[in-house]
Chains A and B, each alone.
Chain A
Amino acid sequence: MLSNMTMGQYYPVDSPIHRLDPRTKLLLTIALIVAVFLVKTLAGYLLILGFIYLAARLARIPFRMLLKGLKPLRLIVLFTFVLNLFFTAGEQVLLEIWVIRMTREGLRQAVFYSLRLVFLVLGTSLLTLTTSPVALSDAIELLLSPLKRIHFPAHELAMMMTIALRFIPTLLDETDKIMKAQMARGADFESGNLISRARAMVPLLVPLFVSAFRRAGDLAMAMESRCYHGGEGRTRFRVLKFTRADLAAAGAMLLLLALVVLERIYL
């Protein structure tokens, strides 16, 4: 049912990129996003595309798989493109039919804005494809932990994220089961108009909520009975360590940023 959700799903292979510290990957992804917003020229975009391509190669992720992540976004990209193409003010008019005006500036902006969106998705999918959700929430917790001083609940936030991710497959299974059970009682989820379809969801949603709350209660009990009391004084099973590879990756990213800045100044 929901098995075609490939966008950003962890792709479990072993590669230098997979082995990087998740904190490094998270920070580098943010740096990449900054780079995407900095570049102005086609050469700059090609540079970033090359960087992403190389990173994907290094991560042993088929580039096709990365591109597949763009599919759910195609409408938004198209929308951005069209909107910018026809509604950007500019001097050099390329095409003019009735009220529709296409300018050189508009074309430029349309191409670059769409590319920006595409690169944003490619960059972030690269992160989620090479980093397991658990490692990612660990990284978020550690990166946010300085904020604990101002009472920001970094640990709790990361724990919630981990639990939520952990329960997605469970809830999908549960949905499937309840759906079948109601279908066995003659429920019909597929036909009828919008209202009758929405009504048909009640026999599915009520048991689903009931079981989600029951699971939440059980889980809370199980965590408490194993002495969980929040993040304070808690040690970790997986200790994250920066290695030379992280340094090298950071170096590569710095190089890219430097090139991007040069491109912005001189091109």
Chain B
Amino acid sequence: MSIEVRHLTHVYGEGSVLRTVALEDISFTVREGEFVGIVGHTGSGKSTLVQHLNGLLKPSSGQVLVDGEDLNGDKTDRRALRRRVGLVFQYPEYQLFEETVARDIAFGPKNQGLGKEEIDRRVRRAMDWVHLDYEKYAEKSPFELSGGQMRRVAIAGVLAMEPEILILDEPTAGLDPRGRDRILSMLENLRTKENMTILMVSHSMEDMARLATRLLVISDGKLAMDGTPREIFARGDRMRAMGLDVPESARLCAALREKGYDLPADLFRPEEVKEHLLRLWKEASAC
């Protein structure tokens, strides 16, 4: 399943003094199995962009095609398409409302009109994906849980709809390192084991370095860069000019290169960096 965005433009408050162009002529295609990271500074239009991808916002002009079908076409069943494109909002824990965790997760599948057994199966599976023990948590109130657990319940609520594409808007914001690590490894599993296509909005270049196979850089509502993390992190100067940064590992390499050390320009994965540094160290001590 693929998503294609064609010349997407979104204008807020058209025809009033508050008119602002949030997105301008954005085009890209997400292919099946990709892990696409969307980066951009605050207010660059990332959240507006992801809300277009499952039809919650309508483009002012341009198209969003899901498997070739126009998301905003007259005959399109938007609710059906929304099932296939799951969207996890920023701070999703604030959308929880049911009395028990299991019932909250079942909200999506129930709206899909599934049978009781199927719903139950999906709730168990979704809880398993987000590492919440069914026996222990299913009957608890979601409001008794910790922030990190609540967030995982909310993500499970979207996963229970078994979307083919999962979009997450800053899933790790405000979590402690352990909570963040849990969510990231969960996403990694979903992609590698369930072959889910994932789009993730994040500020954290470290998260992106770890997971993304491709990065889209949004700046002032425009698509500024589109490429592999390797290509993009090699352009630290350009990223900084847009108020963004590159992972610490890439920054370290750039600083060393400036001092005259022989390192390739596209290093960013911590393990790779370690190998290269050890090699340099050995060469230096051999002399």
As a 0/1 sequence over residues 27 to 45 of chain B, the CB contacts with chain A under 8 angstroms (1 = contact) are 0000000000000000000
Residue B268 at the A interface, CB < 8 A? no
CA distance A183 to B161 in the complex (A): 12
As a 0/1 sequence over residues 157 to 180 of chain B, the CB contacts with chain A under 8 angstroms (1 = contact) are 110010000000000000000000
Contacts of B96 in A (CB 8 A): 207
CA distance A98 to B51 in the complex (A): 61
Contacts of B157 in A (CB 8 A): 185
As a 0/1 sequence over residues 74 to 104 of chain B, the CB contacts with chain A under 8 angstroms (1 = contact) are 0000010011001101001011110000000
Chain A nearest CB, measured from B50 CB (Å): 10
On chain B, the number of residues with a Cβ less than 8 Å from chain A's Cβ atoms is 22
Instruction: From the candidates A183, A185, A202, A207, name the one contacting B94 in the complex (CB within 8 A).
Output: A207
Residue of B nearest to A203 (CB): B97
As a 0/1 sequence over residues 49 to 84 of chain B, the CB contacts with chain A under 8 angstroms (1 = contact) are 001001010000000000000000000000100110
CA distance A203 to B97 in the complex (A): 6
Residue A239 at the B interface, CB < 8 A? no
Q: Do B56 and A183 touch across chains, with their CB atoms under 8 A apart?
A: yes
Chain A nearest CB, measured from B244 CB (Å): 25
Instruction: From the candidates A174, A178, A184, name the one contacting B87 in the complex (CB within 8 A).
Output: A184
Residue of A nearest to B57 (CB): A180
Instruction: From the candidates A185, A206, A210, A211, name the one contacting B111 in the complex (CB within 8 A).
Output: A185
Instruction: From the candidates A188, A202, A210, name the one contacting B79 in the complex (CB within 8 A).
Output: A188
Contacts of B137 in A (CB 8 A): none
Instruction: From the candidates A182, A186, A202, name the one contacting B95 in the complex (CB within 8 A).
Output: A182
CA distance A206 to B161 in the complex (A): 22
Residue B107 at the A interface, CB < 8 A? yes
Residue B189 at the A interface, CB < 8 A? no
Q: Do B161 and A180 touch across chains, with their CB atoms under 8 A apart?
A: no
Q: Do A180 and B56 touch across chains, with their CB atoms under 8 A apart?
A: yes
Residue A181 at the B interface, CB < 8 A? yes
Q: Do A180 and B111 touch across chains, with their CB atoms under 8 A apart?
A: no
Residue A177 at the B interface, CB < 8 A? yes
Q: Do A211 and B161 touch across chains, with their CB atoms under 8 A apart?
A: no
Chain A nearest CB, measured from B118 CB (Å): 14
Q: Do A186 and B56 touch across chains, with their CB atoms under 8 A apart?
A: no
CA distance A174 to B95 in the complex (A): 10
Contacts of A186 in B (CB 8 A): 79, 82-83, 107-108, 111-112, 161
Residue of A nearest to B79 (CB): A186
Chain A nearest CB, measured from B85 CB (Å): 9
CA distance A184 to B56 in the complex (A): 8
Residue B143 at the A interface, CB < 8 A? yes
Contacts of B89 in A (CB 8 A): 177, 180-181, 184
Chain B nearest CB, measured from A184 CB (Å): 4
Identify 13 residue pairs between A and B in the complex whose beta-carbon atoms are under 8 Å apart, listed by A's number. Answer: A177-B94, A178-B94, A182-B107, A183-B56, A185-B107, A185-B161, A186-B79, A186-B108, A186-B112, A187-B107, A203-B95, A203-B107, A207-B94
Chain B residues near A (Cβ < 8 Å)? 51, 54, 56, 79, 82-83, 86-87, 89, 92, 94-97, 107-108, 111-112, 143, 157-158, 161
